Amino acid sequence: MKNSYWWLLFFIAALPAMIFRDYTPDNELRYLSIANEALSEGHIFTFYNQGMPYADKPPLYLWIVMFGKWVFGNHCMWFLSLFSFIPALVIIRTMDKWVGSEMSTENRYTARLMLMTSGLFFGLALTLRMDMLMCMFITLSLYTFYKMRKGWGNKKLNSWLFPIYIFLAVFSKGPVGILVPLLSIFLFLALNGEFRSIGRYWGWKTWSVLLSLCGLWFIAVYMEGGEPYLNNLLFNQTVNRAVDSFHHKAPFYYYGIAVWYSLAPWSLLIIGVIIFATRRYIITDIERFFITITLTTVVMLSIISSKIAVYLAPTFAFFVYWTMLVLSRMKWSRWLALTIAIPAIIFSCSLIAFIVLVYTGELAIYSHWSIYTGAAFLMISGILALWFLYYHKRMNNAINSMAMGMLCIVFFAGFSFPTINTDIGFEAVGTKALEVAQKNNISTFYSYGIRRPDSMDVFLHHDIDKVEVENILNNEYDNAVLIITERRLKENEELQTYISDKPIQQVGQYIIVVI
């Protein structure tokens, strides 16, 4: 398991969630809705969301969603999950090969576990987003540059793969795909006194491939969507979001806060090593390159106006592997042990804390045998970590123990999704609402009190419009299915009276009413 079959451990941990989880309305269901619209309208390079241009994202990931629908006839969570999970495994495998001669087998095993169980990395590996796909291509491009610089492998092949990986990173998510390798390599070579060699990597071949592939993409967009869509793609979704974002605007210091929970539970260790060990322990090329990639990317992302925690994803692998490279030369110390002991103590209290929160009603919906079981394993892992940390003074064993506890809770919690899915996504309520509508020969749907209901059309096969309670009470709608949240219904006595004599179905937190 430590060598050839390490990936199987992660796959088993993720499998229940990949099978049983519902789509989240915020992004996952929206991508499905956009893909459906593209398939029905015959669009390939331009995308629309409820009829409005959606130039936010490049085509690659949406093509994958469309391909899945075309092959299987519907959207399959397990299939789409693979295109986040497999890229995560490729990133780990690439980093593992990269440090193969610099790090022991034991430390590489620990690094794999640390990276996969870094909170947001594992979250993105299970979430239907294009971020992990982009990160995979960024990592491959940076590794290819390093091989070119060291003279490893087939020089001619690497000189072609380098720009192709960068283009695919851009084609997955956008400009960050080129900015991360471009700025990181420029700065690394400058700091190493090798700036004159930049043409070997960012020369005519690299730029020719990038410009040719991007040119073909932009021509296809122009032919299909015209000048307004191309302008939206090239300027509104890139320059405008970078300079004065209309989306996810946040202050410069945002990532200084986000990094702590994005890398949890290893953030204390990683940031601690960066602060206390940087000047003393960075002695190899690979360490300088990793820390340059990490810090350059964080600064670049901080300058860009649009900010969310997931944008940090390209740095996670380099944060973790740089930490393990440095940690392999550091001796056990009290401050170092404390960076692991604090999260280990929290893990040790996890089962008790969960029971209390369920009892007080804060997490009552998550009262499921599988989560109790996972929390028990997490608690045991925390106790074992403290034992390894202070009795044996073995950092690796403590980290491995905590990581295994996290994998256990992800595995067991995955079996709770059939119970809690009604509070995660719209599949159950959408399927039931369609059944009610077909039974009553209705094709009109309305919603009240539901956040982002538009993408429910994936299950309804019809559009759904938001309405206000006043319009409902004034009988402005007839022969329609209305979907309301239970919370909003309880807040309005008039609405309760209005629907009291009408056919009602409840699915989780949602009320389905025929009006």
Does residue 346 sit in the same domain as residue 393? yes
pTM of the model: 0.93
The verdict on whether omega for the bond into residue 175 sits within 30 degrees of 0, i.e. cis, is: no
Mean pLDDT by 10 residues, the chain (515 residues): 76 96 91 94 92 90 96 94 97 96 93 95 94 97 97 94 98 95 96 92 96 96 92 75 55 90 95 80 85 95 88 96 92 92 97 93 88 96 96 95 97 95 91 93 91 90 89 84 90 87 88 91
Does residue 416 sit in the same domain as residue 358? yes
Alpha helices in 99-154 (DSSP H): 105-116, 119-126, 131-150
Residue 295 lies in a domain: no
Distance of CA 21 to the CA centre of its chain: 15
Residue 407 lies in a domain: yes
- Of 186, 220, 244, the position where a domain reaches its end is 244
Does residue 416 sit in the same domain as residue 454? no
- Of 397, 421, 445, the position where a domain reaches its end is 421
Residue 326's pLDDT is 92
3-state secondary structure 156-187: HHHHHHHHHHHHHHHHHCCCHHHHHHHHHHHH
Long-range contacts from 272-276, C-beta under 8 angstroms, 24+ separation: 272/335, 272/336, 272/339, 273/323, 273/326, 273/327, 273/330, 273/336, 274/323, 276/335
Rounded CA separation 142/146 (Å): 6
Range of the domain at 374: 337-421
The count of domains in the chain is 3
Does residue 400 sit in the same domain as residue 452? no
- Of 383, 401, 421, the position where a domain reaches its end is 421
Q: Is 50 helix (H, G, I), strand (E, B) or coil?
A: coil
Residue 251 lies in a domain: no
Residue 198's pLDDT is 94
Does residue 365 sit in the same domain as residue 441? no
Does residue 121 sit in the same domain as residue 35? yes
